[in-house]
């Protein structure tokens, strides 16, 4: 199809859609912040009811919901009531891999940081440190509300990758799987649930490990899981047969990543493996979620998404050989590495 064919959106129309992208993310942010999807979980409601329940201005809330209904997030009926659509269901707090916290997080620190993208591109520095005076993970340690939203936001953005990873990689026969930077433990919990003889070792910052305990208990896997708090720039825990890091190395620059990987190299057994779950950037101009996620890495933690050759070089410099890359049904790959 070419641009001259009927019904094909003009470059100006496509550009208009791209330019106004933040309208949508902010509208979704406000709907998530107000908990609208939760208020609609039992059926359609009037705007008067939704405004009273969410502490909003009725006419303005109507305009928000009408706008989002035009995008398929809600549906307005003939009586002016609003209902959830399958898209809107994703913003409920109580659904698997809920994206409500992701929508909240996107509209808060992330939105402010993206507002500084020009500064980041001109200087190569992160916006987060400029705006908040400290790196993101230090900030989260002293901001419990934002930390909880971040943990849940990670499930919102990466949760769907869990099943894809479990389908793509064979975890049979592994004794203990160590998840380094495993966050609230949701990935490890799902892996232990899928493989009943597997044991788990969850490692993250001490404040995060505290929050993970409840999650692992609720998932019914805490008896097979050891929790350890620490700093992966200083050490990695021994005791794993296979080590896993999902979306850890993309948070850091090459020097920082090498430190983390070398600490892992000290504890991965000679017969063991390191699995990195990341999105390997493909060559060419194809659309790829990681190409834009890369800009979030630039603005917020100061890391980057990498190509296969960049991963190979980084791993080699830390004592690992990249043995294979397994694509998954989600927008991530399993990068399997062996110690050399």
Ligand X SMILES: C[S@@+](CC[C@H](N)C(=O)[O-])C[C@H]1O[C@@H](n2cnc3c(N)ncnc32)[C@H](O)[C@@H]1O
Compute the least distance from the CB of residue 59 to ligand X, in Å: 39
- Residue 236 and residue 220: Cα distance in Å, rounded? 25
Residue 95: closest CA among 35, 162, 24, 38: 38
**Tokens for 112?**
């402010």
d(C-alpha 111, C-alpha 245), whole Å = 26
Residue with smaller CB distance to ligand X, 181 or 272: 181
Q: In whole angstroms, how close is the CB of 190 to ligand X at the nearest point?
A: 11
Q: Using the rule CB under 6 A, is 199 a contact of ligand X?
A: no
By the rule CB under 6 A, 248 interacts with ligand X? yes
- The stretch among 19-27, 57-65, 218-226, 246-254 that binds ligand X (CB under 6 A) is 246-254
Binding ligand X (rule: CB under 6 A), the pick from 144, 233, 289, 307 is 233
Among 29, 100, 199, 246, binds ligand X (CB under 6 A): 246
Per CB under 6 A, 232 contacts ligand X = yes
How near is the Cβ of 246 to ligand X at its closest, in Å?
4
| Helix/strand/coil (H/E/C) assignment for every residue in the chain | CCCCCCCCCCHHHHHHHHHCHHHHHHHHHHHHHCCHHHHCCCCCECHHHHHHHHCCCHHHHHHHHHHHHCCCCEEECCCCCEEECHHHHCCCCCCCCCCHHHHHHHHHHHHHHHCCHHHHHHHCCCHHHHHHCCCHHHHHHCCHHHHHHHHHHHHHHHHHHHHHHHHHCCCCCCCEEEEECCCCCHHHHHHHHHCCCCEEEEEECHHHHHHHHHHHHHCCCHHHEEEEECCCCCCCCCCCCEEEEECCHHHCCHHHHHHHHHHHHHHCCCCCEEEEEECCECCCCCCCHHHHHHHHHHHCCCCCCCEHHHHHHHHHCCCEEEEEEEECCCCCEEEEEEEC
Gap between the Cα atoms of 233 and 230, Å rounded:
9
29 binds ligand X (CB under 6 A): no
Q: Does 303 bind ligand X (CB under 6 A)?
A: no
Catalytic residue among 110, 143, 250, 321: 250
Among 107, 156, 181, 272, binds ligand X (CB under 6 A): 181
Binding residue (CB under 6 A) for ligand X from 105, 187, 236, 298: 187
**158 part of the active site:** no
Please report whether residue 306 would count as binding ligand X according to CB under 6 A: no
Which of 152, 241, 251, 336 binds ligand X (CB under 6 A)? It is: 251
Q: What angle do CA 29, 116, 124 make, to 5 degrees?
A: 130
Interacting residue with ligand X among 30, 64, 127, 154 (CB under 6 A): 154
Q: Taking the complex as a whole, how short is the minimal distance between the CB of residue 13 and ligand X, in angstroms? A: 35
Among 10-18, 76-84, 215-223, 244-252, which window interacts with ligand X (CB under 6 A)?
A: 244-252
Q: Is 208 in the site for ligand X (CB under 6 A)?
A: yes
Q: In the bound complex, what is the minimum distance in angstroms from residue 132's beta carbon to ligand X?
A: 15
258 belongs to the binding site for ligand X (CB under 6 A): no
- Stretch near ligand X under the rule CB under 6 A, chosen from 68-76, 112-120, 177-185, 215-223: 177-185
Q: Pick the binder of ligand X from 88, 107, 153, 183 (CB under 6 A).
A: 183
- Smallest distance from ligand X to CB 275, Å: 12
Angle at which helix 47-54 crosses helix 58-69, to 10 degrees, equals: 110
204 binds ligand X (CB under 6 A): yes
**Closest distance between ligand X and the C-beta of residue 144, in Å?**
13
**Residues with catalytic annotation?**
250
Residues of the shown chain interacting with ligand X in the complex, contacts defined by CB under 6 A: 137, 154, 158, 181-183, 187, 204-205, 208, 231-233, 246-248, 251
């Amino acid at each position: 199809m070419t641009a001259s064919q009927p019904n094909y959106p003009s470059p100006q129309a496509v550009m208009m859609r791209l330019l106004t992208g933040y309208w949508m993310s902010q509208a979704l942010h406000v709907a998530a912040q107000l908990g609208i999807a939760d208020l609609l979980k039992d059926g359609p409601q009037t705007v008067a009811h939704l405004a009273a329940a969410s502490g909003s201005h009725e006419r303005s809330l109507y305009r928000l919901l009408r706008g989002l209904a035009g995008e398929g997030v809600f549906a307005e009926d003939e009586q002016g009531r609003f209902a959830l659509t399958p898209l809107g269901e994703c913003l409920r707090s109580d659904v698997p891999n809920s994206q409500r916290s992701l929508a909240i997080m996107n509209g808060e620190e992330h939105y402010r940081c993206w507002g500084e993208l020009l500064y980041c591109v001109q200087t190569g520095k992160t916006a987060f440190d400029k705006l908040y005076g400290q790196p993101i993970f230090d900030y989260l340690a002293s901001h419990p509300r934002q930390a909880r939203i971040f943990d849940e936001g990670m499930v919102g953005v990466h949760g769907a990758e869990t099943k894809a990873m479990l389908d793509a990689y064979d975890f049979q026969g592994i004794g203990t799987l160590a998840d380094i930077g495993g966050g609230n433990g949701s990935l490890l919990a799902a892996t232990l649930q899928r493989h009943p003889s597997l044991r788990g070792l969850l490692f993250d910052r001490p404040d995060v490990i505290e929050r993970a305990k409840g999650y692992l208990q609720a998932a019914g896997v805490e008896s097979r899981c050891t929790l350890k708090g620490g700093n992966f720039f200083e050490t990695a825990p021994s005791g794993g047969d296979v080590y896993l890091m999902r979306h850890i190395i993309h948070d850091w620059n090459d020097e920082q990543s090498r430190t983390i990987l070398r600490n892992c190299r000290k504890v991965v057994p000679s017969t063991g493996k390191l699995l990195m779950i990341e999105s390997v950037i493909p060559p060419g101009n194809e659309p790829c979620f990681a190409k834009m996620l890369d800009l979030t890495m630039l603005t917020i933690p100061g890391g980057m998404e990498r190509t296969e050759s960049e991963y190979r070089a980084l791993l080699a410099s830390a004592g690992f050989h990249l043995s294979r890359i397994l694509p998954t049904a989600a927008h991530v790959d399993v990068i399997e590495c062996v110690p050399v």
